[in-house]
Amino acid sequence: MRLWLREKGESKMDTMQILSVVVFLAVMVAIISEKIHRTVAAVAGGVILVILRVLSVDDAVSYIDFSTIGVLIGMMLFVAVVRNSGLFEYVAIKAAKIAKGNPWKIMLLFTILTAVLSAFLDNVTTVLLVGPMAIAITGILGIDPVPFLLAQILASNIGGTATLIGDPPNIMIGSQAGLSFMDFVMNTGVAVVFIMIALCLSFYFVFGRKLVVAPEKMEAVMQLDENKSIKDHGLLVKSVVMIVVVVLAFIFHSTIGIDSCIIALGSATIMMLIGKQDIEETILGVEWSTILFFVGLFVVVGGMQQTGIITLLGNGLVSLTGGNAMLLMLLILWGSALFSSILDNIPFVATMIPLILAMQADGMDVTALWWALSLGACLGGNGTLIGASANVVLSGISAKHGHPITFARYTKVGFPMMLLSVIISTAFLLIRFH
């Protein structure tokens, strides 16, 4: 807590605390109701805090995590260039042909492909690339694409949990907690392997055994030419080389002493230089509304951090669990999962990070809490149709192609899978940190 709070007196501190909480709750209500765009709500909240003198301009800027912002912008620019090569479409068709047109094998390979891509790309980007291909291939087979799309939604959120760059909450956690790419792979990544096995087995028993098509339909898939999906052969080669370089750089970034945001921005710069694509078009590929949303949210949460609300919440959690680290870990895991299943996980994570940092400052070992937060927030997005951006995006694509995914239909599959994944995560954390 800032010293100036004490100097201002108790009444002043109370006023500032109330204002920071009111603004935060107002922003959350606006985001949940969707009456106001989430970016506008977050930025407006940050501006209001400055106007009300809860934060100075310098304080507001200091709470923005520019490392997270850098990683997001860098990876978005990188993917915007690579997308123009046709690489992702090529891989999707190749996977379908490897499966020899068998619908269950196609579902299995597409699910694994989505999870792997989501570990290294933004989840929304992944479903935008793989989703339409699944719809096209199921159209050739003459079967309902919804089970395939449900599997891809779940796999995108699960796969994104595995790495530092797979999901925005992980980028935020990694930046603030000083966790490396390999730290995530060896913790959340291990849990994700078991969760993916559970997902694939579940989908086989629920959908896989019912997927039967005529041999001529399977042959039609085999006639697809993956080479025709390649738009730029030169860019394809450059993209593959750069993807390998970027992945290796992220893996060894702590060893080589280069921050993850520098790797992301550096690789994006190199890709734009060697890719020879329209730069203005590439820049437009960045989801700037998402970036501004993060900026505003950091400031809004910073208001509660500066006024001491985060500290109070941390003390409350510790008191609730009696200071028991294991109970606190489980509370954060399940609380973040249930919260993220109905609300955007980013505001929750942005609120929890300074709370855990406050506990760390008090001498608590918070290692397990970081992984509980990551697993809960990322996996919780699978609970409902509105739990994660990828869910909303892919359901929209499905509806445009005449296959609407209702809230109820999704929840019947997504919520049980979310619960199963959190149960597996619980077992993993208890074994890992017992």
Please identify which residue in the block is written with the tokens 């409350």: 316
Is there a domain that residue 410 lies in? no
What pTM was estimated for this model as a whole?
0.76
CA angle 82, 87, 90 (to 5 degrees): 165
Is there a domain that residue 199 lies in? yes
Instruction: From residue 162, give the alpha-carbon distance in Å to each of 148, 156, 181.
Output: 21, 10, 9
Two tokens at 193? 């392997």
**Cα–Cα distance for residue pair 306/311, rounded to 1 Å:** 9
Is there a domain that residue 423 lies in? no
Is there a domain that residue 349 lies in? no
Is there a domain that residue 390 lies in? no
Q: How many domains does the chain have?
A: 1
Those residues with Cβ within 8 angstroms of residue 118's Cβ, 6 or more apart along the chain or in another chain? 126, 155, 156, 157, 158, 159, 160, 166, 167
Domain span including residue 97: 67-173+181-284
Mean pLDDT, 10 residues at a time, over the chain (434 residues)? 38 76 88 79 93 92 85 83 82 82 90 90 76 83 90 95 88 88 93 96 89 82 82 89 85 77 90 88 82 86 84 76 85 90 76 86 90 95 82 81 86 95 97 89
- Say how many C-beta atoms besides its own lie within 10 A of residue 116's C-beta: 16
Distance, first Cα to last Cα, the chain: 32
Is there a domain that residue 159 lies in? yes
Is there a domain that residue 311 lies in? no
Instruction: From residue 192, give the alpha-carbon distance in Å to each of 23, 184, 188, 376, 379.
Output: 36, 10, 6, 12, 10
Is there a domain that residue 53 lies in? no
